[in-house]
Structure 1
């Protein structure tokens, strides 16, 4: 990448591959169009793209993000454009440190979905507020998933992972009231597992 003060960087991220919605390709196209409108055709054509697919926004441990920040420290571009704020980070502490670092380097940060631009004081303030809600959303989703898995486990369902010694995961089908077929997994005690369990119990009693 050539070192030039006129270069604009595009950063895109998605937790898993998908060709729909906010895919990596769609994010890049929208960012490039924003750059074309605000910085000109040349800037859009020569924008440098960094993309991380299959990586969470919960931390900054992403290969292309690290490459982008290395280039930023060498001042190889003047601004970073993202499609949405949470594409860069869903963690308030990480986001705050990032914005401070970019400010020190004199690099603007633009989120086109929320229309935030750190080149203005109001833009910086609103971006911090939005990052708080982004982290809240991430933590709320994680808590909801944990609660749901806990309730499913209460029904006797096996939710995955390494099965206990002597047990095997067994797929079970059931028919719902509306006639749909649902699949679930439960643990099944194997014959050899029953022998192991009885032997272990006997050893505990005779100690």
Structure 2
């Protein structure tokens, strides 16, 4: 009678093995763990314990994280109320991470789930049981970290002796018996790339030459397609390739290089000449990104879908701003749209003027359009396609309109010299204040800050300063463009702009000359 009154306790058995070794056996480690757990559950039959039919087995999964399919299914069944007790062979089968174990225990406690390790009989429903488990798990985590340190030390020692310890096999070599062996066909390609760079002395010309000859990165047979290689070279991978000291027979570890066991492909004299050429490239010739003045940063694209990144270059001490296609930055000239680069001042003024015209045709002047309203601008050789966010009093849908536009096709240097106003002719402090005002307006409009006071507190400035600065976001496009060009009245500064600036753009022009 007493036995019939015993409440049934549903027990889920969880098993795990870290490696694939031995899984092909008829009776493997997972089977042994389950047998031991089932035997323990049978010993508790008088308490109503019964093993649930589902198998929660994770073969070849690390205990260092919780990203395991069987464990995730176990947690789902716990949430569904199908389990009362979790039984494992040892606690490190469940997890080896103390932090993960704390999360699991918290989840178990929330559902009143008990946790039992067959060879280490503990009950997590008591504070002493949790303390003991935490102590044991701390040692398990210590053992795991100690093993990792041993592996890292072994790799470092092997690299110092010039041994290949695995990783991505570079072009020109094959991995055979844990050693790098020269691939004769690929080795000729490697030598050609080094010698050709010395001839053309330009990444752009080298990429074009490699594309014309069909030379691509090393092809690999991997399960993940994006790691299969066989793709055209771009600037970044090409720079890494030309600096790789493996090609002169060295092995690296943490920015230190040692004589390697593998044979060199490139003559050291040629390699040193390439390094000198790479180091001697004038900094002024390198396009660098600048975000402080780029009104269209993240919004401008060419007509083939490539983002136009803000950049600048310097010549004779003068900085010139422009936007350049990301495809051009990667050396993929064939993928560039009809406009590869454009002077920043020219495109920004065109967009501002288009916004004003569009507003006058279909919107009220009480809600001035700004760069912050622009979602996307697509630039082609003869037109701009501008997408703006929907207005608050409208249906909320984005609006798209097209305007005629053209730029004279010139090389980069000529385009910068003829169309971009030198920075020295502009009031940089005022320009930065305008950019900041538009950024703040965007944050307030998007709800990132609920009030000006909250915005001021986040930036550690007085709300009055924020209110005064925000008026610059409502300047007319003509006035904004005049400031960008440096055509504002001589001596005009932020303090000279009236504190109570009228919303009428005609008044803006009168006040600012």
TM-score, L = length of structure 1:
0.81
The answer to whether the aligner puts 1:12 opposite 2:18 as a matched pair is: no
Aligned length: 192
Alignment match of 1:88 (pick from 88, 94, 119): 94
Question: Do the aligned partners of 1:5 and 1:78 also contact (CA within 8 Å) in 2?
Answer: no
Range with bigger deviation, 129-138 or 150-159: 150-159
Relative distance call for 1:91 and 1:45 in structure 2 (3 A) is closer
- Match of 1:176? none
- Match of 1:57? 63
Relative distance call for 1:119 and 1:22 in structure 2 (3 A) is farther
The answer to whether the aligner puts 1:25 opposite 2:31 as a matched pair is: yes
Question: Do the aligned partners of 2:114 and 2:124 also contact (CA within 8 Å) in 1?
Answer: yes
Relative distance call for 1:112 and 1:200 in structure 2 (3 A) is farther
The answer to whether the aligner puts 1:198 opposite 2:195 as a matched pair is: yes
Question: Do the aligned partners of 2:9 and 2:50 also contact (CA within 8 Å) in 1?
Answer: no
Relative distance call for 1:42 and 1:29 in structure 2 (3 A) is farther
Range with bigger deviation, 149-158 or 63-72: 149-158
The answer to which structure, 1 or 2, has the higher relative contact order (CA under 8 A, 6+ apart) is 1
What SS does structure 2 have at the residue aligned with 1:110? strand
Question: Do the aligned partners of 1:72 and 1:105 also contact (CA within 8 Å) in 2?
Answer: yes
Whichever of the two has the greater Rg, that structure is: 2
Question: Do the aligned partners of 2:91 and 2:117 also contact (CA within 8 Å) in 1?
Answer: yes
The answer to whether the aligner puts 1:188 opposite 2:188 as a matched pair is: no
Mapped to 2, the partners of 1:197 and 1:170 lie a distance apart of: 25
Alignment match of 1:102 (pick from 96, 108, 129): 108
Matches within 5 A, 1:29-178: 29-40=35-46, 43-44=49-50, 46=52, 48-171=54-177
Question: Do the aligned partners of 2:42 and 2:49 also contact (CA within 8 Å) in 1?
Answer: yes
Mapped to 1, the partners of 2:136 and 2:196 lie a distance apart of: 58
Relative distance call for 1:5 and 1:38 in structure 2 (3 A) is closer
Relative distance call for 1:170 and 1:79 in structure 2 (3 A) is closer
Mapped to 1, the partners of 2:164 and 2:120 lie a distance apart of: 41
- Match of 1:180? none
Mapped to 2, the partners of 1:92 and 1:135 lie a distance apart of: 7
Relative distance call for 1:83 and 1:138 in structure 2 (3 A) is same
CA deviation after TM superposition for structure 1 residue 70, in Å: 0.9
Mapped to 2, the partners of 1:160 and 1:56 lie a distance apart of: 20
TM-score, L = length of structure 2:
0.35
Unaligned runs of 5+ in 1: 172-183
Question: Which protein is richer in strand relative to its size?
Answer: 1
CA deviation after TM superposition for structure 1 residue 26, in Å: 0.6
CA deviation after TM superposition for structure 1 residue 44, in Å: 4.4
Mapped to 2, the partners of 1:100 and 1:143 lie a distance apart of: 30
CA deviation after TM superposition for structure 1 residue 167, in Å: 2.8
Unaligned runs of 5+ in 2: 1-6, 202-273, 282-513
Relative distance call for 1:201 and 1:32 in structure 2 (3 A) is farther
CA deviation after TM superposition for structure 1 residue 161, in Å: 2.6
